C-alpha cells in the first residue's frame, strides 16, 4: 500500500508504529535499553536482531526507526540510518566506506565542515582527496581515476548555489566503480530526486528543512540496504553518532509538514529573486530557480525548483553586506537555514571564516555575498523587508 502513496501521504504516515495504547501521535521511546524475556532471548537478539527488535539506543530505537523509514520511503531509498547531526551523517557515510590508500574526488564549493572532513580528517588517515570545480565536467573526468572509491558533492553548493549535474558525474564515477555520495541539503528532500538521478548515497542535515523550526540537530544517511546495513550501521553503532529518540520524534513531526513548508519557502525565494533583479545595490542575485542563474536549465531539469535559499552579492563589499544585515527587521541574523523563520548569513565572516581569502575567492565567496534562507512568513513582508534594508545600504 505504502508504495502507491504520494509524498505528502508518506510524510504523514510512513514508518508509524503504534504501541498497545493505540496513540495517534508517534510515541517517544525515550529509553536507552530494552529488556528480554529470558537469557536465551537476549542471546538470540545479539546473534541476529529481527526487523523491529532493539538492543541499545546507539544501535537503534523504535522512534528513530520510524524517522528512518519515513524519510527513506519519501526518498525512494531502500534504507536509512539516522545520525546525531548532519556532520555525523557526512563524516559517517565517508569514513564508514573509506580506508587508507583510497582516492576521493570532491567538489571544491562545500559547506565549511564538509570541507574540513575531506581536507583535514580523511587525509590524516591516508585517504587522498582531489578537489574540482563541481560545475566543470572536464575537471571531474580528469580527476576520477581507476582507483577512485568515492565522489562527494553538494547538489546545490552552500553558499554559492552552484548546481552539479548528478547524472553526468555519476556516469563518470560509475565507470570506475566509485560510490556517488551527495549532500542534498540545499536541493531539499522535497524537490530532490538524487537517488533516481544516479547518486548511490544521499546525506542530509535534518537540522535544516526537516526539523524546520530551529530545535534539534540531526542527520540521515540514505542508500541501499546493503550499504546501510553492512557498511554504515557497523561503523555508526560502534562510533556513537546515533540520533536521540527525542530528536527523532521532533523530526518525525517536522516531516509531516515538510512538503508544505518547503514549497512555501521556495515560492517566496523565487518571488524575492524576481523582485530584486536589477536592484542598484546588488552586484548579483543568485537563485537557481531564476533564468539568470548559469545552471538554471540544469536546476529545473534535475530539481524542478531553485530551493529555499537566495544568495545576494551586495554592492560595497563587507561594509555594504553588514549594513544590509543590520538593516533587516524581520529576517534574523543567524547561520542556520531551512527554518520557518527567515535567516540571513554573511558566509565570509561566519560559516566560511576559517578559509583564506584566496580559498574564499576560488569558491565564489565574495566579501559582499550574503545567504538568505527564506522562511514561511508572508512573501510580501519578506520582499519589503529585504528591499528597505537594501535601499539603506
Residues at the interface with ligand PLP (CB under 6 A): 85-87, 90, 111, 113-114, 154, 158, 183, 185, 205, 207-208, 217, 219
The nearest distance, CB 352 to ligand PLP, in angstroms, is 12
| 248 within 8 A of 61, measured Cβ to Cβ | yes
- Measured in residues, the chain has a length of 393
Q: CB-wise, 220 or 393, nearer to ligand PLP?
A: 220
The nearest distance, CB 235 to ligand PLP, in angstroms, is 17
The nearest distance, CB 86 to ligand PLP, in angstroms, is 2
| 29 within 8 A of 63, measured Cβ to Cβ | yes
Q: CB-wise, 23 or 120, nearer to ligand PLP?
A: 120
Q: CB-wise, 57 or 157, nearer to ligand PLP?
A: 157
The nearest distance, CB 230 to ligand PLP, in angstroms, is 24
Strand 332-333, strand 219-223: pairing = unpaired
Q: CB-wise, 66 or 89, nearer to ligand PLP?
A: 89
The nearest distance, CB 161 to ligand PLP, in angstroms, is 11
**Residue 52: count of CB within 10 angstroms of its CB:** 9
The nearest distance, CB 183 to ligand PLP, in angstroms, is 5
Q: CB-wise, 61 or 216, nearer to ligand PLP?
A: 216
Which residue has the closest beta carbon to ligand PLP?
86
HEC readout, the chain? CHHHCCHHHHHHHCCCCCCCCCCCCCCCCCCCECCCCCHHHHHHHHHCCCCCCCCECCCCCHHHHHHHHHHHHHHCCCEEEEECCHHHHHHHHHHHHCCCCCEEEEECCCCHHHHHHHHHHHHHHCCEEEEECCCCHHHHHHHCCCCEEEEEEECECCCCCCECCHHHHHHHHHHCCCEEEEECCCCHHHHCCHHHHCCCEEEEECCCCCCCCCCCCCEEEEECHHHHHHHHHHHHHHHCCECCHHHHHHHHHHHHHHHHHHHHHHHHHHHHHHHHCCCCCEEEEECCCCCCCCCHHHHHHHCCCCCCEEEEEECCHHHHHHHHHHHCCCCEECCCCCCCCCEEECHHHCCCCCCCHHHHHHCCCCCCEEEEECCCCCHHHHHHHHHHHHHCC
Residue 356: exposed, middle, or buried by beta-carbon count in 10 A (0-12, 13-18, 19+)? exposed
The nearest distance, CB 214 to ligand PLP, in angstroms, is 12
The nearest distance, CB 125 to ligand PLP, in angstroms, is 20
Closest by CA to 11, choosing from 210, 192, 214, 268, is: 210
The nearest distance, CB 338 to ligand PLP, in angstroms, is 8
Q: CB-wise, 185 or 331, nearer to ligand PLP?
A: 185
Q: CB-wise, 179 or 351, nearer to ligand PLP?
A: 351
Query: Dihedrals φ, ψ of 362, to 5°?
Result: -65, -25
The nearest distance, CB 180 to ligand PLP, in angstroms, is 16
Q: CB-wise, 239 or 387, nearer to ligand PLP?
A: 239
Q: CB-wise, 242 or 389, nearer to ligand PLP?
A: 242
Q: CB-wise, 54 or 191, nearer to ligand PLP?
A: 191
Amino acid at each position: 500500500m505504502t508504495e502507491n502513496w504520494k509524498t505528502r501521504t508518506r510524510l504523514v504516515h510512513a514508518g508509524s508504529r503504534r504501541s498497545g495504547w493505540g496513540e495517534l501521535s508517534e510515541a517517544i521511546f525515550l529509553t536507552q535499553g530494552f529488556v528480554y524475556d529470558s537469557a536465551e532471548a537476549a542471546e538470540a537478539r545479539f546473534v541476529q536482531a529481527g526487523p523491529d527488535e532493539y538492543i541499545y539506543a546507539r544501535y537503534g530505537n523504535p522512534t528513530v526507526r520510524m524517522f528512518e523509514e519515513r524519510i527513506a520511503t519519501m526518498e525512494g531509498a531502500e534504507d536509512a540510518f539516522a545520525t546525531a547531526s548532519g556532520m555525523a551523517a557526512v563524516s559517517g557515510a565517508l569514513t564508514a566506506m573509506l580506508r587508507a590508500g583510497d582516492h576521493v574526488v570532491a567538489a571544491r564549493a562545500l559547506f565549511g565542515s564538509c570541507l574540513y572532513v575531506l581536507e583535514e580528517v580523511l587525509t590524516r588517515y591516508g585517504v587522498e582527496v582531489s578537489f574540482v570545480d563541481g560545475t566543470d565536467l572536464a575537471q571531474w573526468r580528469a580527476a576520477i581515476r581507476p582507483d577512485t572509491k568515492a565522489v562527494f558533492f553538494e547538489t546545490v553548493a552552500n553558499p554559492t548555489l552552484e548546481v552539479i549535474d548528478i547524472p553526468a558525474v555519476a556516469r563518470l564515477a560509475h565507470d570506475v566503480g566509485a560510490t556517488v555520495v551527495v549532500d542534498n541539503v540545499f536541493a531539499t528532500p522535497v524537490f530532490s530526486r538524487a537517488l533516481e538521478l544516479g547518486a548511490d548515497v544521499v546525506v542530509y542535515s535534518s537540522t535544516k528543512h526537516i526539523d524546520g523550526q530551529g530545535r534539534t540537530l540531526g542527520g540521515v544517511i540514505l542508500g541501499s540496504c546493503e550499504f546501510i546495513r553492512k557498511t554504515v550501521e557497523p561503523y555508526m553503532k560502534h562510533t556513537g553518532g546515533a540520533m536521540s529518540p527525542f530528536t527523532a520524534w521532533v523530526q518525525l513531526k517536522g516531516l509531516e509538514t515538510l512538503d508544505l513548508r518547503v514549497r512555501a519557502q521556495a515560492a517566496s525565494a523565487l518571488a524575492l529573486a524576481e523582485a530584486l533583479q536589477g536592484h542598484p545595490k546588488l552586484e548579483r542575485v543568485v537563485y537557481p530557480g531564476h533564468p539568470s542563474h548559469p545552471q538554471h536549465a540544469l536546476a529545473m531539469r534535475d530539481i524542478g525548483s531553485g530551493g529555499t535559499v537566495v544568495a545576494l552579492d551586495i554592492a560595497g563589499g563587507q561594509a555594504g553586506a553588514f549594513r544590509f544585515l543590520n538593516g533587516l527587521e524581520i529576517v534574523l541574523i543567524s547561520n542556520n537555514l531551512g527554518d520557518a523563520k527567515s535567516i540571513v548569513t554573511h558566509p565570509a565572516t561566519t560559516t566560511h571564516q576559517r578559509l583564506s581569502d584566496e580559498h574564499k575567492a576560488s569558491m565564489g565567496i565574495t566579501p559582499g555575498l550574503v545567504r538568505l534562507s527564506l522562511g514561511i512568513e508572508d512573501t510580501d513582508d519578506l520582499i519589503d523587508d529585504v528591499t528597505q534594508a537594501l535601499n539603506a545600504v
